[in-house]
Structure 1
Amino acid sequence: MKKTIYILFAVFLLSRFDATAQSAGDTLQKKIQLVEKSLVGIIQTEGQPLWTIEERMKHYRLNGVSVAVIHNYKMEWAKGYGWADAAKKIPVTEKTLFQAASISKSLNGVGVLKLVQDGKLDPDKDINQYLTTWKFPYDTVAKNKIITTKNLLSHTAGLTVHGFGGYSHKDTIPTIVQILNGAKPANSDPVRSMFAPGLRSEYSGGGITISQLILTDITHQPYDKFMYEQVLKPMGMTSSTYTQPPVNIKPELLATAYRDNGNEIEGKYNIYPEQAAAGLWTNPTDLSKYIIETQLAYQGKSSKVLNQATTKLRLTPYLDKAAALGVFIDDLEGTKYFQHGGANEGFRCQYFGSLEGGNGVVVMVNSDDGSIMNEIINSVAKVYNFKGLYRSKVYKEVAVDSAVLQSYVGKYEMRPGFNLSITREGNKLYGQATGQGKLDLFAEAQNKFFLKIAPIEIEFIKDDKGKVVTCRVYQGGVNDAKRIE
């Protein structure tokens, strides 16, 4: 009798467990579906309907998108959409690898700081103390100031070369020394001083490439081997690689790169010997492991690669409020996030991880157009209530008489040689900066307009005689352009 009761009790518990698991699964699916149909841009107009991922992929002519969401220090879900290779009809899955582009710099920061943690590198000393196969050629621009590893990782070394274009499969691939010297077959300029180190943050993939050479000169190991064994593998990022081009990976797992018109890049993707700056192949699932490990290490709850002290060093802005050592720190409505974006030929990506609370999101696309990423991040932030990550301003459009619009038509000088031309077609106003395309302007007031594709506003200012004399542009500050025609 007792045995029968025990069996019935066990069955009852199992049925309750199954019901709870099914309920949790249903809840997660509803969240995913809500994210998939709640996309909104950083700019929206009053009454504008929400978009679906499918609609926006079609709008931007995107082939593939991959997303992962981190909640309470766990990757809650990851999912792929569209095609990794459209011609071969290979779908994007959570295993599909994308080029992480400049997100590579974040993991590079972990690797370089592992050397600091192990006592092999002092990040405050002259980089030339550690460079053996090449020395940085200081000149008078540096004003007798040394460049440190902290300068390199925080983009405060005052160095040239913002980014890299990569190489086709037909090209001869240059060595790192050739790249740093701008010597053939390198297709980029030499990495040299632009201004004295330690003055301000000025993004330099060239500086990150120097840190790559420091790592290999110290360890006497190939960069990709050290990074896999000491950084990627310990964090569980076993699908990822810095090897350029990738080896021992099934071709169907590598996303093909596409232009913003949907055309495939020749050779399917470019090769980046500048591995630290742009060479990581990964996916949102693996990047989530990096984000979660960073969050836990910051809390002192894990140390798979870096301990708490070194992690806090990595996440501390060096000179300004944003540029830390391989990451940028954003304070969004009082919630701090570490983040980085990326842009290689045919790839765009972005991640955010909160310093507290264990939340985050990763989006990767195989296109030159990454506009959908902010829309997806907005949707995730709204559904999961990730404070500060939902960034969308709602405008109410107003009607402006054509005669008033005509009074704004003219040429405005932003700076010598760089003008803003305002034109009108019917009841529509357009703006076009020197060397750029024509953009629609939408009225939010009789004399103030906004763009729907970027957080930019334009206001027309009159003098005391009622004549329009200035075009005031709000974009990361206030810039006045004087009317010259």
Structure 2
Amino acid sequence: MMKRTLIAILSAFFFQIALPQNPSAEFDSLMTKVFKADEAGAVALVVKNGKVLYRKAFGMANMELGVKMKPENVFRIGSITKQFTASAILKLRDEGKLSLDDDITKYIADYPTHGHQITIKHLLTHTSGIKSYTGMETWDAEVRKKDFTPMELIDFFKDQPMDFDPGEEWRYNNSAYFILGHIIEVVSGTTYETYIDSNFFKPLKMSNSYYGSPSRIIKDRAYGYDKRDGELINADFLSMTQPYAAGSLLSTVDDLYKWYSSVMEDKVISKASRIEAQSTYQLNNGEKTGYGYGWGVGNVQGSPMISHGGGINGYLTSSIFLPEEKLFVAVFSNCNCNSPGDIATKMAAMAIGKPFSWKPITLPEDVMRSYEAVYGPDKKNQRIITFEDGQLFSMRTGGSKFKISPFEKDKFFFEGGGVTTLHFIRDANNTIASVTAKGTGYDMDLERTELPIPTLTKIELDASVTDTYLGKYELAPNFIITIFKEDDTIFAQATGQGKNEIIPFEENKFSLVNADIKLTFNKDENGEVNSLTLHQGGDHEAKKVE
């Protein structure tokens, strides 16, 4: 299993870290690269030690009516809701009304646990093994339009087979937080919506935060958008009874700052519960997950960080807090097409005077070639470093190939603006023994192997064969993989993504160029192509729909 080690916290005792001379201009640059004035937009807030460093809006809140975005706009915050759900559970625990070691059958007597003990703690930490309903094939576009009571939706997923035994793996899980919402209702005797409003929103004066409702008139609500085939469209409808305690809440960047501040000042839950919630949970084997109870745990350039993001129809959100610097950053977007995560992380780094900025250096070719290898013995978790045309490239299992450039000997950054760096580690004989990926989470170490670098040989197929593969394949509700030709080149394009050339290496098997992603085209009993299988992080079937 991949070894993880905690990134050492960089010391700043003996020197003064300075902010950029004009942080607003730096922040503007980050935002305008992604969020255009005439498209779906975003709001950003940066607060340090109680002082607002940056508060600005970009793009459109409503494209059809021509309404510009403003900092006061209200967004669906998606999975940031999980912080509120986890805090409600911990508040009830602080009051002696439940235990995190309670089995879920205490609250749902007929829940099938398959002989396992599944506790509230497993639900909080995404380690229950319960199937996440948002990953079920039957959770389709029509189902997502329906209103469910909490128990009706639990009945929708509870009989699914477990993905793993409790505590054995970490896998993000919306079903778990949905069940937590039901537990809150059982223990408190009130609805989840009422509990959150009366215990958090009202006492903390979060006057622009709500439980989601498509029918309620909400002042300054930003409309949600998506992008398909390069075109912006209105986001698909989703009954807000379904995200529920896993992602139903709406808020503003200002209200979310009130929330983080109140939590960190121990006005929401006890100090002991806060510290527990913001500490990484460990699997049964002791491996750290990088997640606590409703908070992600990591770092920004060595400074400890707690965070959570969200993604829901029409909206993507990111929130970060650095306890040592008392720095809060939030970036909310009203389109599934523009991820704010890296922007928020870069803003945080700039605000503490540790920007993600590397200057490339030149290394001799023999040194560059020395990094070329397969790292990691497990094929499900490898990093392949290749040297091509004078450049180094990195490709993870199931991922795309990215150019990497050295900023020191043995240290590389990814070209294209990410926040991860690769550090090659040498042994006592000065031979490269492993590679460590350093980002905002725990270090990820992979040992160098003697495995050959995999290659694929393209075969030639007649157009009469390849033409049968052209069409649209539904991988998930509203997520289509389109296979098409331009001249004689075949491409695959997923919803909201760019096109990728694919090449055949067997008659019905193709690989993306510059990515460890493969497609198998399947035929029915009549020899007609009726589906494809995407081989990326497992095998995922997509039915041919057009």
TM-score by length of 2: 0.62
Question: For the Cα contact (< 8 Å) 1:96–1:255, is it kept in 2?
Answer: no
Question: For the Cα contact (< 8 Å) 2:424–2:436, is it kept in 1?
Answer: yes
Partner SS, residue 394 of structure 1: coil
Q: CA deviation at 1:236?
A: 1.6
In 2, Cα distance between equivalents of 1:245 and 1:34 = 40
In 2, Cα distance between equivalents of 1:423 and 1:131 = 52
Deviations 1:35-88 (A, max 9, x none): 33225xxxxxxxxxx9453234359x9631211222224656532222122343
In 2, Cα distance between equivalents of 1:213 and 1:321 = 25
1:216 maps onto 2:185 in alignment: yes
Amino acid at match of 1:215: I
1:161 maps onto 2:161 in alignment: no
Partner SS, residue 97 of structure 2: coil
Deviation larger for 441-450 or 362-371: 441-450
Deviations 1:379-405 (A, max 9, x none): 34424x27xxx462514143777x999
In 2, Cα distance between equivalents of 1:391 and 1:291 = 23
In 2, Cα distance between equivalents of 1:295 and 1:419 = 38
The correspondence for 1:53, drawn from 6, 24, 31, is 31
| Aligned counterpart, 2:516 | none
Amino acid at match of 1:350: S
Question: For the Cα contact (< 8 Å) 2:332–2:340, is it kept in 1?
Answer: no
Aligned-residue sequence identity (percent) comes to: 21
Deviations 1:141-171 (A, max 9, x none): x2xxx22222211223333328569876983
1:280 maps onto 2:258 in alignment: no
Matches within 5 A, 1:169-188: 171-182=145-156
In 2, Cα distance between equivalents of 1:448 and 1:336 = 22
The correspondence for 2:24, drawn from 29, 36, 40, is 36
User: Gapped runs of 5+ residues in structure 1?
Assistant: 1-30, 40-49, 184-188, 298-302, 462-468
Amino acid at match of 1:102: S
Question: For the Cα contact (< 8 Å) 1:100–1:342, is it kept in 2?
Answer: yes
The correspondence for 1:315, drawn from 278, 294, 319, is 278
| Aligned counterpart, 1:136 | 111
Q: In structure 2, do the counterparts of structure 1 residues 379 and 333 end up closer, same or farther at CA, with 3 Å as the change threshold?
A: closer
Q: CA deviation at 1:127?
A: 2.2
Q: In structure 2, do the counterparts of structure 1 residues 339 and 412 end up closer, same or farther at CA, with 3 Å as the change threshold?
A: closer
| Aligned counterpart, 1:245 | 214
| Aligned counterpart, 1:152 | 123
| Aligned counterpart, 1:70 | 47
**Higher share of residues assigned helix:** 1
Q: CA deviation at 1:351?
A: 1.4
Q: CA deviation at 1:369?
A: 4.7
Partner SS, residue 196 of structure 2: helix
Question: For the Cα contact (< 8 Å) 1:137–1:192, is it kept in 2?
Answer: no
In 1, Cα distance between equivalents of 2:254 and 2:20 = 15
Partner SS, residue 207 of structure 1: helix
In 1, Cα distance between equivalents of 2:278 and 2:113 = 28
| Aligned counterpart, 1:341 | 309
Partner SS, residue 321 of structure 2: strand
| Aligned counterpart, 1:10 | none
| Aligned counterpart, 2:342 | 374
Amino acid at match of 2:307: Q
| Aligned counterpart, 2:358 | 394
Question: For the Cα contact (< 8 Å) 2:372–2:387, is it kept in 1?
Answer: yes
Q: CA deviation at 1:232?
A: 1.8
| Aligned counterpart, 2:463 | none
| Aligned counterpart, 2:259 | 290
Answer 1 or 2: higher relative contact order, Cα 8 Å, separation at least 6.
1
In 1, Cα distance between equivalents of 2:275 and 2:411 = 44
User: Gapped runs of 5+ residues in structure 2?
Assistant: 1-18, 283-287, 427-431, 439-443, 456-546
Q: In structure 2, do the counterparts of structure 1 residues 66 and 418 end up closer, same or farther at CA, with 3 Å as the change threshold?
A: same
Partner SS, residue 255 of structure 2: helix
Deviation larger for 437-446 or 193-202: 437-446
What is the Cα-based RMSD across aligned positions, in Å? 4.4
In 2, Cα distance between equivalents of 1:316 and 1:434 = 29
| Aligned counterpart, 1:205 | 174
In 2, Cα distance between equivalents of 1:162 and 1:406 = 46
Q: In structure 2, do the counterparts of structure 1 residues 325 and 474 end up closer, same or farther at CA, with 3 Å as the change threshold?
A: closer
In 1, Cα distance between equivalents of 2:44 and 2:306 = 18
Q: CA deviation at 1:290?
A: 0.3
Amino acid at match of 1:98: F
Question: For the Cα contact (< 8 Å) 1:278–1:344, is it kept in 2?
Answer: yes
In 2, Cα distance between equivalents of 1:223 and 1:398 = 58
Deviations 1:301-360 (A, max 9, x none): xx3x43444434433444347432211233557753322122234432221223355331
Partner SS, residue 184 of structure 2: helix
Q: CA deviation at 1:218?
A: 2.6
| Aligned counterpart, 2:103 | 126
| Aligned counterpart, 2:488 | none
Q: In structure 2, do the counterparts of structure 1 residues 313 and 284 end up closer, same or farther at CA, with 3 Å as the change threshold?
A: same
In 2, Cα distance between equivalents of 1:260 and 1:33 = 40
TM-score by length of 1: 0.69
Q: CA deviation at 1:195?
A: 3.2
In 2, Cα distance between equivalents of 1:417 and 1:155 = 21
Question: For the Cα contact (< 8 Å) 1:269–1:346, is it kept in 2?
Answer: no
| Aligned counterpart, 2:83 | 106
Question: For the Cα contact (< 8 Å) 1:235–1:290, is it kept in 2?
Answer: yes
Q: CA deviation at 1:426?
A: 5.8
The correspondence for 1:358, drawn from 289, 308, 326, is 326
Deviations 1:231-262 (A, max 9, x none): 22221222111234362314x52232333876
Question: For the Cα contact (< 8 Å) 1:191–1:207, is it kept in 2?
Answer: no
Matches within 5 A, 1:90-105: 90-105=67-82
Amino acid at match of 1:64: G
Partner SS, residue 217 of structure 1: helix
Question: For the Cα contact (< 8 Å) 1:473–1:480, is it kept in 2?
Answer: no
| Aligned counterpart, 1:258 | 226
| Aligned counterpart, 1:234 | 203
Q: In structure 2, do the counterparts of structure 1 residues 207 and 420 end up closer, same or farther at CA, with 3 Å as the change threshold?
A: same
Q: In structure 2, do the counterparts of structure 1 residues 111 and 396 end up closer, same or farther at CA, with 3 Å as the change threshold?
A: same
Amino acid at match of 2:130: L
